[in-house]
Amino acid sequence: MTTSAPLAPRSRLADFVGMTKPRIAVLVLFVTAAGMVLANPGGIDLLQMFHTLVGTFLVAGSANVLNQVIERHSDKLMRRTENRPLPSGRLSTLEVSLFGIGLGFGGLAYMALTLEHPLAVGVAAFTLVSYVLIYTPSKRYTTLNTLIGAVPGAMPPIIGWTAAGGSLNAAAGLVFLILFLWQVPHFLAIAWMYREDYSRAGLRMLPSIDPDGLLTARQMVGWCVTLVAISLYPAIALRGNWAASFTGPLYGIGALLVGTAFLAATIAFWKRKTHARAKLVMKVSLLYLPVLMLLMLAETWMKSAAAAVVP
């Protein structure tokens, strides 16, 4: 009879860190920092940005860890997740739960103690609670879970916005809406790629109940068209509009180009609903969002620099 050797401390540490999904955290922190710059382009406090990013990283890590605690049984039924620390048995549910809860409370407490604007803490708390307690369970009950999850998924730049400015306005709403809309075709593509896994685990993703993929494709294209239209609106609106600080010719041209590429990928999937074309939608979406945010930041910095040299 043989027994498996316990995991080495380094392997356990790697599992705990991996459960926070560091690669996803990179994008989360980027859009959080972008939200801070867009909210207050002329006066970013770097120390406040550091505190905001640390707190956001802890809260996002908590959300990812607790999501895996709740979904440990369904993860065990899916090929792409069966080797995660919980379904594989490398870590226990209790220790992972304590780790996730600790990250969440630690992140919120850190933000409460270091940030000047308490609204940012409230936004971060809402993001964590809605992701873990509303979105995660909804995946078992409704195909609308993608829309439900898009709400907390669009909150990181709002955390940054409120941390920098302490309040919200229509321009913040535009940034939120862009991230909300972006997530739908992005996650539908992923759900199509892994639809058999989701079905096996009993998760109600739209592609799991859409065998020919026609409804999924229509949803991808429809949401992408809406995204492109919303992203272009402030660039073509009258001067003096509520998003004028971070939109202009550079943003407008760039948004049109990357939006067209994103839309073309979703249309290509509509024409041929294959794994490869769904993967293309996912890859283009991962290019679209950072490019769009960088265009916003470039316009912001150029306008701030121009304002600084005007006597």
pLDDT 10s per residue in the chain (311 long)?
334 445 566 688 999 999 999 999 999 999 999 999 999 877 788 999 999 999 999 999 999 999 999 999 999 999 999 999 999 999 999 999 999 999 999 999 999 999 999 999 999 999 999 999 999 999 999 999 999 999 999 999 999 999 998 788 888 999 999 999 999 999 999 999 999 999 999 999 999 899 899 999 999 999 999 999 999 988 776 455 667 777 888 899 999 999 999 999 999 999 999 999 999 999 999 999 999 999 999 988 887 766 665 55
Is CATH 3.40.50.300 correct for 10-166?
no
- pLDDT at site 3: 43
Domain ranges of the chain: 10-166, 169-304
Q: What does the buried/exposed string (b/e) look like for 142-157 if buried means 16 or more CB atoms within 10 Å of the residue's CB?
A: ebebbbbbbbbbbbbb
Half-sphere exposure of 222 (CA within 13 A, CB side): 7
Give the whole-angstrom CA distance, residue 58 versus residue 162. 17
Measured CA distances, 60 to 46, 105, 141, 154, 230 (Å): 21, 11, 24, 12, 27
Q: Which long-range contacts (CB under 8 A, 24 or more apart) does 285-289 make?
A: 285/182, 285/185, 285/186, 285/189, 286/186, 287/258, 287/261, 288/182, 288/258, 288/259, 288/261, 288/262, 289/27, 289/31, 289/179, 289/182
Q: Looking at this protein, which amino acid is placed at residue 72?
A: R
- pTM value is 0.91
- pLDDT at site 235: 75
Cα torsion 261, 263, 267, 272 to 10°: value is 60
